[in-house]
């Protein structure tokens, strides 16, 4: 160690490795970038190197790093009141609840605040069970809903394995993953049998026993799976028909990421419960929420809400969220995402022409991923199997290393490369990041040549 106040990147990385755990990993495999500061679309490491953040960290820093409106609001609130216990009322909390009632669709009107997305999921299940008096929850196979016990049991993908058997009462249905769909991938047209599967699961499990169906409107961590038009409307109909609540997990897809406040708006769907986090504070202070419809909210007028968290509705976090929403409005974020999203889609189309390793590109606004394959005809994935960790193997790892050496950070899992930048990114910054991605894809092409 240098002994001076300012540590080098290597010293900070070593200090973190020795005394702290990293997520989802065997600790010896982690090679972390030591970040000292950040601004806009860039991270700055302890050696002063600037790195373009092409995935807004975990698709959450939607306003870019250190947004001045948000930083100022946090400072002002910290000077006045950092915290009161959630049985007390505070102005930022009340105003945030009102804002959320305004910007969320339909009759969603009342919020229970948590510390992040996983706890929002857990509380959404609890609320659905309490409000309906029913137990079972239908979740989909290619999904991620969080790491706490309830949320990870709902999660369909491999990160669930280590926590099995998890909490009882969770059943699983198919997803609208057209590229690898067991119902319709060989067909001209999708006939949405994946939605019918949800209907069948509810019938088999018993509509009188199923409290809710939970869906990510666009499955995020599992490859940004944009559903076919009509799918979410059909899921809504199925839920209504069986008197089952529809929970939309908008933790990743919300707050302008797709060019609307919330992804469900693209299909005019009104869920009964919505979970939110990530873009809610743009990563500045941890906060999540479960926003419920009037009908669900009124159930708790006379029935006890069996839920409480010491740091629920944290005053600093609520102030940060209010300022974040104000900045989204002032900067016309959803509208600019539509414009930048078409730049991204055009660039993706050109890359797909150039690179045989691209199997499919998927995007809606600035919510996007590329899926790499060994063979376009057979769709054989570039690397064999999804790993529960974020440790990439083979070509995918080489590709990520190359991008980082070129000063661009993004998220890579299995055979997906994610591009979900801050929504404030400039067109030039976006194009420069995509140029590095384009060069990195040569590595994948060479591997299958």
Closer by beta carbon to ligand PLP, 41 or else 121: 121
Under a CB-based contact definition with an 8 Å cutoff, are residues 142 and 175 in contact? yes
Q: Which stretch binds ligand PLP (CB under 6 A): 216-224, 312-320, 335-343, 386-394?
A: 216-224
Q: Which of these, 197, 199, 196, 192, lies nearest to 229 by C-alpha position?
A: 192
**Partners of 42 in beta bridges:** 39, 52
- Does position 69 interact with ligand PLP (CB under 6 A)? The reply is no
Q: Which stretch in 93-101, 181-189, 246-254, 432-440 sits in contact with ligand PLP by CB under 6 A?
A: 246-254
Confirm or reject binding of residue 118 to ligand PLP (CB under 6 A).
Answer: yes
CA 234 – CA 192 distance, rounded (Å): 9
* Both tokens assigned to 1: 């160690």
Q: From the CB of 147, what's the least distance to ligand PLP, in Å?
A: 6
How many whole angstroms separate alpha carbon 286 and alpha carbon 198?
33
The piece of 105-113, 114-122, 170-178, 388-396 that touches ligand PLP (CB under 6 A) is 114-122
Can residue 381 be called a binding residue for ligand PLP (CB under 6 A)? no
Which residue of the chain is nearest ligand PLP when measured via CB? 117
91 C-beta neighbours (distance < 10 Å), count: 14
Nearer to ligand PLP, 53 or 216 (CB): 216
Tally of residues, the chain: 449
Cβ–Cβ < 8 Å for 297, 109: yes
Considering the rule CB under 6 A, would residue 121 count as an interface residue with ligand PLP?
yes
Q: In what order do the strands lie in the sheet with 108-114?
A: 108-114, 288-293, 273-276, 245-249, 210-215, 136-140, 170-173
Question: Binding ligand PLP by CB under 6 A: which of 97, 116, 279, 422?
Answer: 116
Are the beta carbons of 337 and 365 closer than 8 angstroms? yes
Tell me: does residue 154 bind ligand PLP (CB under 6 A).
no
Find the binder of ligand PLP among 45, 199, 205, 249 (CB under 6 A): 249
Q: In what order do the strands lie in the sheet with 408-409?
A: 35-39, 42-45, 50-53, 408-409
* Degrees, nearest 5: CA angle 386-342-270: 70
- Using the rule CB under 6 A, is 420 a contact of ligand PLP? no
Asked whether position 277 contacts ligand PLP by CB under 6 A, the answer is yes
Tell me how far apart the alpha carbons of residues 317 and 117 are, in angstroms, rounded to a whole number. 14
Q: Are 366 and 257 in contact (CB under 8 A)?
A: yes
Taking CB under 6 A as the criterion, the residue among 213, 252, 382, 403 binding ligand PLP is: 252
Strand partners, 362: 369
Q: Are 101 and 314 in contact (CB under 8 A)?
A: no
Query: How many residues bind to ligand PLP according to rule CB under 6 A?
Result: 15
Under rule CB under 6 A, residue 365 binds ligand PLP = no
CB of 263 to ligand PLP, least distance (A): 10
**Interacting stretch for ligand PLP, rule CB under 6 A, among 130-138, 206-214, 244-252, 439-447?**
244-252
User: CA 416 → CA 23, 345, 346, 358, distances in Å?
Assistant: 19, 16, 19, 10
**Smallest gap from residue 428 Cβ to ligand PLP (A):** 28
Q: Does residue 362 touch ligand PLP according to CB under 6 A?
A: no
Distance of CA 87 to the CA centre of its chain: 30
- Does residue 144 bind ligand PLP (CB under 6 A)? yes
Q: Which is nearer to ligand PLP, 215 or 408 (CB)?
A: 215
C-beta of 152 vs 373, nearer to ligand PLP: 152
Binding piece for ligand PLP, criterion CB under 6 A, among 8-16, 41-49, 231-239, 247-255:
247-255
Find where tokens 């009632």 sit. 101
Closest approach, Cβ 219 to ligand PLP, in A, equals 8
Q: Is 296 left (phi over 0), alpha (psi -120 to 50) or beta?
A: alpha
Is 113 an interacting residue with respect to ligand PLP (CB under 6 A)?
A: no
Residue 122 touches ligand PLP, criterion: CB under 6 A: no
Cis peptide before 165 (omega within 30 of 0): yes
| Residue 276 binding ligand PLP, by CB under 6 A | no
The yes or no reply on residue 416 touching ligand PLP (CB under 6 A) is no
Nearest approach, Cβ of residue 60 and ligand PLP (Å): 8
Q: How far apart are CA 287 and CA 73, in angstroms?
A: 15
User: Shortest distance, CB of residue 271 to ligand PLP, whole angstroms?
Assistant: 13
Stretch that binds ligand PLP, among 110-118, 193-201, 229-237, 255-263 (CB under 6 A): 110-118
Binding interface with ligand PLP (CB under 6 A): 58, 116-118, 121, 144-146, 216, 220-221, 249, 251-252, 277
């Amino acid at each position: 160690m240098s002994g001076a106040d300012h540590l080098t990147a290597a010293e900070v990385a070593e200090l973190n490795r020795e005394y702290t755990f990293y997520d989802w990993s065997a600790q010896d495999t982690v090679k972390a970038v030591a970040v000292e500061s950040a601004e806009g679309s860039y991270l700055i490491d302890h050696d002063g190197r600037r790195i373009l953040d092409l995935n807004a960290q975990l698709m959450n820093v939607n306003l870019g790093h250190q947004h001045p409106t948000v930083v100022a609001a946090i400072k002002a609130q910290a000077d006045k009141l950092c915290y009161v216990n959630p049985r007390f009322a505070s102005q930022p909390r009340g105003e945030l609840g009102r804002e959320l009632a305004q910007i969320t669709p339909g009759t969603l009107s009342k919020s229970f605040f948590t510390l992040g997305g996983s706890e929002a999921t857990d509380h959404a299940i609890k609320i659905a069970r309490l409000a309906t008096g029913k137990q079972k929850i239908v979740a989909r196979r290619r999904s991620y809903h969080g790491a706490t016990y309830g949320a990870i049991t709902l999660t369909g993908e491999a990160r669930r394995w280590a926590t099995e058997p998890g909490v009882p009462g969770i059943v699983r249905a198919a997803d609208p993953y057209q590229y690898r769909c067991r119902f319709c991938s060989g067909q001209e047209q999708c006939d949405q049998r994946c939605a019918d599967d949800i209907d069948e699961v509810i019938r088999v499990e018993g509509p009188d026993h199923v409290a809710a169906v939970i869906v990510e409107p666009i499955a995020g961590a599992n490859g940004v799976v944009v559903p076919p038009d009509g799918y979410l409307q059909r899921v809504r109909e199925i839920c209504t028909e069986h008197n089952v609540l529809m929970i939309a997990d908008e933790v990743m897809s919300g707050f302008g990421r797709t060019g609307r406040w919330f992804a469900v708006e693209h299909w005019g769907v009104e869920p009964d419960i919505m979970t939110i986090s990530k873009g809610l504070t743009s990563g500045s202070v941890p906060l999540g929420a479960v926003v419920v419809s009037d009908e669900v909210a009124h159930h708790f007028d006379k029935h006890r809400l069996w839920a409480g968290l010491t740091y629920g509705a944290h005053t600093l976090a609520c102030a940060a969220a209010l300022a974040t929403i104000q900045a989204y409005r002032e900067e016309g974020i959803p509208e600019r995402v539509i414009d930048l999203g078409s730049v991204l889609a055009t660039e993706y189309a050109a890359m797909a022409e150039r690179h045989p390793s691209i199997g499919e590109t998927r995007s809606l606004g600035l919510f996007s991923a590329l899926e790499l394959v060994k063979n376009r005809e057979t769709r054989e994935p570039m690397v064999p199997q999804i790993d529960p960790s974020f440790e990439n193997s083979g070509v995918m790892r080489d590709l990520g290393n190359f991008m980082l050496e070129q000063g661009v950070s993004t998220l890579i899992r299995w055979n997906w490369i994610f591009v979900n930048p801050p929504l404030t990114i400039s067109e030039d910054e976006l194009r420069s990041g995509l140029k590095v991605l384009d060069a990195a894809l040569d590595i994948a092409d060479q591997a299958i040549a």
